[in-house]
Chains A and B, each alone.
Chain A
Amino acid sequence: MKEFKKTSPPKWAERFLSWYCKPSLLEDLQGDLNEYFERNVKTKGSLRAKLIYVADVFKFLRLYTIRKPELINLLINWIMLRSYIKTSGRSIVRHKLFSTINIAGLAISMSVGLMMISVLNDVFSYDKFHKNHNRIYRLISQYEYLGRKDNDYMATTSLKAAKAIQETFSVPEDVAILKREFDGDVKVDEKIIPLNGFLANPSVLKTFSFELLEGNAITALKEPFSVVLTEKSAKKLFGNDEALGKVVTLKDKQYTITGILKDIPMFSHIKFDMLGSLSTLEIIAKDDKGEMAWDNIWNTWVYLLLPANADLKDLKVSLDQLSKKEDLTIKNTHIELALQPMDDIMTGESLGNQIGPVMGRSMLWIFIGLAFVVILSACFNYTNLSIARSLRRTREVGIRKVIGALKSHVLGQFVVEAVLISLCSLVLAFFLFVFLKPFFLTIEPEIQKIFVLNLSPVVMLYFVLFAIFIGIAAGIFPALFFSRVNPLQVMRDFAARSGFKKMTVRKMLIVFQYSISIIFITSTVIIYKQYKHFVSYDLGFQTENILNISLQGNKAAALKNELNQLSEVKEISQSMIVTSVGNYWGTQMKFHTNPHDSTGVYYNIVDENYLPLHKHKLLAGRNFIAKADSSKETEVIVNEQVLKRFNIAEQNPAKALNEFVTVDGKDMQIIGVMKNFHYGKVNDNVSQKEIILRYSNTEARLLNVKIQSTDLLSTYAKIEAIWKKYDPVHPFEAKFYDQQIDEAFAGMRASVKMAGFLAFLAICIASLGLLGMVVFTTETRLKEISIRKVLGASEAGLMYLLGRGFFVLLGIATAIAIPVTYLFFDRILFQEMANHAPISVGDLSLGVLSIMTIAFLMIGSQTLKVARTNPSEVLKSE
């Protein structure tokens, strides 16, 4: 016979077979499969033979081949539980340092895990209080003009689509319509309360499970000029008096209260203070054709209640037919309609025009991903240290096995130990979680609107399950390792160094942990630097000590007079919007040289004090001059970019004066040209915008108050007091300009906090792991070190010997992490961000340096300790 190179079936499949198969059938079956395998190797090649072997192993998994569970084994595990807990407890107490490292590391990472659980719990609790939540779908729409599609779907759709579905579709049981712009100051007698709400059709109360306390759900929103209040807003308006049937005034219209709703639950993605009847709109906006236009998809949210067995594909076809028909009414426009299950709203794709704040799928995944990385890192620590210390425990395992413990018993013991440690960590993690919760919630105001992170018994149960899961995940590898210990070898030769075989894996784990830590901390540094860079960016005008007060509909003049009485107030100007924080107002502009070229320009409406107060630089011409309120708009100040865009007077500011441009159909004279400044947010993509300033004394929405005072807070309080006298209804809304710019970058600030926090955790965990490894290595090499010392090695030489390996690992981690971070920011994140600061070597090395310092201190202190021990002490005890 010819000699064949010996190939053997996949080990794991063999093991799986012997695991499940009845012992009485096992040998024969193994033999048969082997015979087939050998035959297949010759005829079909080793790869296919292996595949067939694996397939056969699974095919033989039948009722008659399966091993019956051996009850006695389970029973023994149960009886031995006390012994396991006892020995585990002793081992935890004996190795205080390692146990502390393990428990602390796990606790830190588990607190993030707990945060994740409660966030997930919150997110998935949304809208579940609606009885029909899984049958409600939201109609979403995508705008397409001249074949150019918008990136995202809108959560809103047109009123026209809603009505068409209501009238012509037979499938939906109900069509609930909510429309924007039912908010404002609600007046009753002398009281004025600002409330937010929607116009709603009667189906809203039927489709959703908002509980109506008073009134009739069917008729409450039927008649025009009806309003349904929530309990809270009714209380605000009427105190404890009966509200039903009373009349309130909103925007000069009288509404009758026809119902009182129970307050909207926290976990509703739709939140409001009141609902007005949609039929009101037909009376108010009777002549407004725009309301019913097919392409007016920006103001209406539509929810369909579908039967449980509804065919969504069918419905989508009908929707496509509808939009095909209606597209004909608007030129060059296509509106794509689609359905989104309500249960997906909180965690779904990003849509424009959401009815309230949502978490979004990508955020959710990033959050879960980061939490997972941190938890994994801590589990690695546990695995790493347990296997490293195996030397000390293998004897115990050996004796257990000699006495008669089976593999499964040892496995059970070490898993129980890991779960025990993880439950200890849970207690610690829980306190950490409670401590961290308020910080998390206040990272960004938006977060507070979405999450409460309440601790319900269910969440607690999840916590415990999570801890058990982590325990098993962290303990399974050490447990498998111990269960394979060969008792004979261990008992004969104490130095059976099987624990060291896994050295490469352990090195990889350390590299992984440190790469993650360096990535986190470097990202934090980079984002922080960008944030600082944007906040202190030279916008082209001054923002210092300017308090922007929202007028909230009040007349500017009277308030100005009162404020001017204060000695701290230096100047006051008026404007319509705050620039450089992400507000954009646009209009169309033309220049006479090319009457067909009309371009969008951004504008702000200001008064004569605005330019000097903000120290905008005029290149030529003059500022506005105060005019009577009733005078016509005839003058405009433009920036350099406007001259460039329209090529006015060959872009010469001085010559451009007195030229006329057409804005909003009005001819206006350019009276001044100002230097370019940042109208939008600094990190906005379009760097230079065409900006014009227009003059009006009456259209101001804001007062810009320049304050000269050493105590800004007390001045703020004084101004607030004046406001309260002046307008007792609306709460004072005022912010310093710098603060507003800061808030415009709140997302970035939140990222810095989050990334910083995670970096801190990752470093803690990695450091703990490294410390454990260093202590372990130095301890096991104590004898070697002592002998070297006796032979004349120097302390420095010994420290180098011990620490070298670790520094190589840290070096590798750095070599991996730095390019990854750099490429991520440079190629992915900063591609979309204008005006960002460059990433410097300093940013990249700062994080590495700090981590290296910590690592160096740990390695140094431990190796020094060993290098300094008296060799005779160690060698004496041989």
Chain B
Amino acid sequence: MKGTNLGEFEELVLLTIAAMVSEAYSVAICDDLSKKTGRDVKLGVVHSVLNRLEEKGLAKSKLGEATSTRGGKRKRYYTVTNAGKVALLTAKELRDQYWSIIPEMKLKNI
């Protein structure tokens, strides 16, 4: 195992899952990310990241109900696991730590 370190995109995806609560499935995540980041997010990339997150135990999934859209195929909804929450928090704390020690002057000059 690679450990629970989060890559940038992984973190974004995981955050989106958390934010979307019960509506997080691949296409929705992909659309939301595209909108918020302004990047052209590819479904294939989201898919493989979701797969990896699940493998790492940071997210879990279950199949929803069949609907008439999507050719009658069920959606796979993702939720963040406890380990996922911990990983997100760790990442946030780490950043906050850095933010707190950067002098305000320095940032203004950038």
Contact = CB atoms under 8 A, between A and B. Distances in A.
Contacts of A60: 44, 47
Looking at chain A, what size class is its interface with the partner chain?
Answer: 10 to 19
B75 A62 contact: no
Contacts of B63: 27-28
A482 to B, nearest CB: 29
A32 B63 CA distance: 13
A32 B51 contact: no
Contacts of A27: 63, 73-74, 76
B38 interface: no
Interface string B67-91: 0011101111000000000000000
B47 A35 contact: no
Contacts of B16: none
A64 B51 contact: yes
Interface string B41-64: 001100110010000000000010
Nearest to B55: A64
B27 interface: yes
A31 B44 contact: no
B43 to A, nearest CB: 6
A29 interface: yes
A36 B27 CA distance: 8
B70 A35 contact: yes
Interface string B21-47: 000001100000000000000011001
Q: Bin chain B's interface residue count.
A: 10 to 19
B43 A56 contact: yes
Contact of A34 (B48, B70, B76): B70
Interface string A7-20: 01000000000000
Nearest to A61: B44
Given A27-B63, A28-B26, A28-B63, A34 B71 contact: yes
A34 B43 CA distance: 12
B40 to A, nearest CB: 14
Contacts of A28: 26, 63, 73-76
Contacts of A32: 26-27, 43, 47, 70
A417 interface: no
Given A35-B27, A56-B43, A56-B44, A30 B51 contact: no
A62 B26 CA distance: 17
B69 A35 contact: yes
Nearest to A39: B27
B30 to A, nearest CB: 9
Contacts of B27: 32, 35-36
B75 A31 contact: yes
A792 B63 CA distance: 67
Nearest to B71: A34
B51 A34 contact: no
Given A35-B27, A36-B27, A30 B47 contact: no
A24 to B, nearest CB: 10
B47 A31 contact: no
Given A27-B63, A28-B26, A28-B63, A59 B73 contact: no
Nearest to A63: B48
A31 B43 contact: no
A38 interface: yes
Contacts of A36: 27, 43
Contacts of B73: 27-28, 30-31, 34
Interface of A: 8, 25, 27-32, 34-36, 38, 56, 59-60, 62, 64
7 contacts: A27-B63, A27-B74, A30-B70, A32-B70, A34-B71, A36-B27, A62-B44
Interface of B: 26-27, 43-44, 47-48, 51, 63, 69-71, 73-76
Given A8-B71, A28-B73, A30-B73, 8 more contacts: A27-B63, A30-B70, A32-B27, A34-B70, A35-B27, A38-B70, A56-B43, A64-B51
Q: Which 6 A-B pairs have the closest CB atoms?
A: A31-B73, A34-B71, A31-B70, A28-B76, A34-B70, A35-B70
